[in-house]
Amino acid sequence: MGDRSGSDGNWNETLTLLVRNQASSKPGSRRRQSLAECPKMENLVPVSLNREALQRISMQRRKEASTLLHAGLFPGAYYLMGYAVECALKACVAKQTAKYDFPDKKRAQESWTHNLNDLVRLAGLRQDLISEMARSAELQINWAIVKDWSESDRYSINITRLRAKALYTACTNRRNGILSWIRQRW
C-alpha cells in the first residue's frame, strides 16, 4: 500500500489522475471512467490509523458536516458531525499509547467502538468531563446532545435541520463545544 503522504508517489499520482479526469471531462458529458483509470482503494485510505491521522480525519469530517449542513443535507451533516467527535475521542485514546509500547489487547479491542460514552471512558476523560460539566451548564447541555449520537444514524433520512444544527453547534461552539473540549486534550 502506498503512503498517504506521497513519499512513494502513489497518493499524488492518484490525485493527479482524478484531477486530470475531471478536467478532461466536458460539463454535461457522460464519459465513464474505465476501471484502469479509477484509483485503487488502498491509495484512498490512511495506511496507519494513528493519533495524527485521527485528528486530521476529525477536522475533515467537521468541515464536511458544515458543508452538508449549509447545503441542506441534514442527515449526512448529523452523521459526519458525530463521526468527527468519535475520531477526536479515538485520537485521545491513541495518545495514551506510548510510541514503542505494545498496546493492551483488551483496550485495543474496546477502542473499536462507535459509542461516545465508552470512548470518553477509554480515553480516560470521564472524570474530567464530569468535573467540567459541573462548572459549565453549557458544556453539560452540549454533551447531553452529543452523547446520544450513534453510527446507526447513517441510515436515518429523517434527521431535521433543527437536530443537525443542534449537534453541529454543540460540537463546534468555541467556548464550550464538545470538539473544542476534546481538542484541548488530544
More confident residue, 56 or 2: 56
pLDDT value of residue 14: 46
Question: How much is the pTM?
Answer: 0.73
The pLDDT > 90 percentage for the chain reads 60
- What is the tens place of the pLDDT at every residue in 85-144? 999 999 999 998 877 677 778 888 888 889 999 999 999 999 999 999 999 999 999 999
- Using an 8 Å Cβ cutoff, are 49 and 138 in contact? no
- What is the tens place of the pLDDT at every residue in 52-86? 999 999 999 999 999 999 999 999 999 999 999 99
